[in-house]
């Protein structure tokens, strides 16, 4: 009998102890507002930033079925402060509800602010516990605030729109999806200079966003950007293409190839004194569109088209290589490759890598095997070949 009682007055004590407690961390859903996007722009006074937070608005009236599902528009809160945290605390006083950052989808830096520096702000994003490492980072053409402000047709809240857009693009190539973690990796890596995608407002009624190339941030300062072909070159070298379209324009005709199942090998070599990087790209190619090539056999056309495709890829790679040599920053990551493969060599080369880096010669060999020409065997105006 006594054994039972002892174990039960113990349970009573546990319950008494627990009931003494209040509930500290209990925040009801209607007492918080959820930040979905953060924009940081350059402010005129030195050391200050213009912080703008995009908050998802929860509509007041009862949730009729159609209006549920996050399609409500968003509120933009703006403040000019020394740092992000002081800014959020300041804003919190103005807004009726506590600001919660853990659902933040997007961090956008204005171009002017990128020109100044972004490292301290990234630092706050890593240190804060409720900031997540998978939020995407962008540089905006104009002001970050305008990007947050626009109303996209599909999703009212622009940061949702951006994340959906990136998810869409990610199926083709991954250059544009740079998360906070990837950015931090690039910053900590001596061998590479960080690169961020650029967002630009497009469309007549300012309701569409365009991903327009990559911005280069040498020791976290904006020093230049890559246009369309240079970005493609960068993606080729970094091996971030999943499948892509190649446009081959020869005098005989125009062909669009859909390249998929792309495999990369980037191997740094040291031959005697000079450094060589050889890049190997293999891919399967499908003719998706063929124009012209009047009365030529299928073999001839394929040969010309494949030649043209290799030509095009090399041209893109060359464009981005020359850009990085011109800007004297190794955003292509050759330094890390050497650091990984030849740690000793990298030790003594590290300091003056800027002037060694331009001497690197890149040898690329590309193999494309044609696996399919789509539904029809050869185009209408081709000659019946063997």
What's the CA gap between 296 and 293, in Å, rounded? 6
- Residue 276: phi and psi, rounded to 5, are -125, 140
Q: Give the nearest distance from C-beta 180 to other proteins in angstroms.
A: 10
Beta pairing class for 74-81 and 98-100: unpaired
Closer of 126 and 371 to other proteins (Cβ): 126
User: Which stretch, 255-263, 279-287, 290-298, 339-347, contacts other proteins (CB under 8 A)?
Assistant: 339-347
Closer of 285 and 332 to other proteins (Cβ): 332
The residue within the footprint of other proteins, chosen from 4, 352, 375, 386 (CB under 8 A), is 4
Q: Give the nearest distance from C-beta 276 to other proteins in angstroms.
A: 19
- In order of 108, 194, 272, the CA distances from 224 in angstroms are 17, 12, 33
Q: Give the nearest distance from C-beta 124 to other proteins in angstroms.
A: 14
Per-residue binding letters, 58-77, with other proteins (x by CB under 8 A): xxxxxx---xxxx-x-----
Please choose, from the candidates 172, 168, 39, 61, the residue with its C-alpha nearest in 3D space to the C-alpha of residue 109.
39
- Residue 83: phi and psi, rounded to 5, are -140, 175
Q: Give the nearest distance from C-beta 352 to other proteins in angstroms.
A: 20
Q: Does 386 bind other proteins (CB under 8 A)?
A: no
Please choose, from the candidates 319, 312, 336, 325, the residue with its C-alpha nearest in 3D space to the C-alpha of residue 360.
325
Closer of 111 and 339 to other proteins (Cβ): 339
Q: Give the nearest distance from C-beta 321 to other proteins in angstroms.
A: 21
Per-residue binding letters, 342-371, with other proteins (x by CB under 8 A): -x----------------------------
Q: Give the nearest distance from C-beta 13 to other proteins in angstroms.
A: 6
Report yes or no: 34 and 72 within 8 Å, Cβ to Cβ.
no
Closer of 33 and 379 to other proteins (Cβ): 33
Q: Give the nearest distance from C-beta 87 to other proteins in angstroms.
A: 20
Q: Which of residues 161-220 bind other proteins (CB under 8 A)?
A: 167, 181, 184-185, 188-189
Closer of 63 and 361 to other proteins (Cβ): 63
Please choose, from the candidates 123, 192, 203, 195, the residue with its C-alpha nearest in 3D space to the C-alpha of residue 165.
203
User: Which stretch, 8-16, 252-260, 361-369, 378-386, contacts other proteins (CB under 8 A)?
Assistant: 8-16
Query: What angle do the packed helices 84-94 and 119-127 form, to 10 degrees?
Result: 70
- Residue 266: phi and psi, rounded to 5, are -120, 110
Torsion angle in degrees (nearest 10) through CA of 313, 317, 323, 326: -130
DSSP sequence for 180-209: HHHHHHHHH-TT---EEEEEEEESTTS-EE
The residue within the footprint of other proteins, chosen from 103, 115, 119, 325 (CB under 8 A), is 103
Closer of 27 and 381 to other proteins (Cβ): 27
What's the CA gap between 176 and 78, in Å, rounded? 27
Residue in the block written with tokens 């003719």 = 287
Q: Residues in contact with other proteins, total (CB under 8 A)?
A: 63
Please choose, from the candidates 101, 158, 170, 112, the residue with its C-alpha nearest in 3D space to the C-alpha of residue 135.
101
Closer of 20 and 380 to other proteins (Cβ): 20
Q: Which of residues 113-142 bind other proteins (CB under 8 A)?
A: 126, 129-130, 132-134
Residue in the block written with tokens 């029809």 = 376
What's the CA gap between 70 and 348, in Å, rounded? 54
At 207, list the tokens: 């309701």
Q: Which of residues 11-50 bind other proteins (CB under 8 A)?
A: 11-14, 16-30, 32, 34, 36
Residues within the interface to other proteins (CB under 8 A):
1-2, 4-5, 7-14, 16-30, 32, 34, 36, 56, 58-63, 67-70, 72, 100, 102-103, 105, 126, 129-130, 132-134, 160, 167, 181, 184-185, 188-189, 339-341, 343
């Amino acid at each position: 009998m006594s054994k039972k009682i002892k174990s039960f007055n113990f349970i009573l004590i546990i319950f008494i102890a627990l009931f003494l407690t209040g509930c500290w961390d209990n925040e009801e859903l209607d007492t918080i507002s959820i930040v979905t996007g953060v924009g940081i722009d350059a402010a005129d006074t030195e050391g200050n930033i213009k912080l703008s937070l995009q908050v998802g608005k929860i509509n007041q009236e009862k949730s009729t079925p159609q209006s549920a599902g996050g399609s409500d528009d968003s509120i933009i809160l703006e403040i000019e402060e020394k740092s992000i945290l002081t800014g959020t605390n300041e804003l919190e006083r103005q807004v009726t509800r506590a600001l919660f950052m853990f659902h933040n989808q997007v961090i956008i830096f204005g171009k002017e602010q990128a020109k100044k520096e972004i490292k301290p702000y990234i630092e706050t994003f890593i240190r804060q516990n409720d900031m997540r490492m998978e939020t995407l980072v962008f540089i905006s053409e104009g002001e970050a605030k305008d990007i947050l402000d626009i109303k996209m047709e599909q999703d009212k809240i622009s940061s949702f729109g951006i994340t959906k857009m990136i998810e869409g693009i990610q199926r083709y190539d991954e250059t544009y999806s740079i998360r906070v973690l990837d950015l931090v990796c690039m910053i900590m890596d001596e061998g590479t200079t960080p690169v961020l995608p650029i967002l630009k407002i497009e469309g007549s009624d300012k309701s569409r966003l365009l991903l327009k190339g990559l911005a280069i941030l040498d020791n976290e300062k904006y020093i230049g950007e890559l246009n369309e072909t240079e970005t493609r070159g960068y993606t080729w070298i970094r091996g971030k293409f999943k499948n892509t379209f190649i446009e081959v324009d020869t005098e005989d005709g125009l062909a669009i190839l859909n390249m998929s199942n792309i495999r990369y090998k980037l191997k740094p070599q040291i031959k005697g004194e000079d450094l060589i990087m050889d890049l190997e790209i293999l891919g399967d190619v499908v003719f998706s569109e063929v124009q012209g090539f009047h009365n030529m056999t299928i073999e001839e056309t394929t040969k010309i088209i494949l030649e043209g495709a290799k030509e095009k890829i090399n041209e893109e790679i060359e464009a981005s290589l020359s850009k990085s040599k011109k800007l004297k920053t190794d955003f292509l990551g050759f330094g890390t490759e050497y650091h990984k493969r030849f740690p000793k060599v990298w030790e003594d080369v590290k300091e003056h890598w800027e002037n060694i880096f331009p001497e690197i010669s890149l040898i690329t060999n590309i193999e494309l095997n044609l696996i399919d020409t789509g539904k029809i065997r050869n185009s209408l105006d081709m000659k019946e070949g063997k």
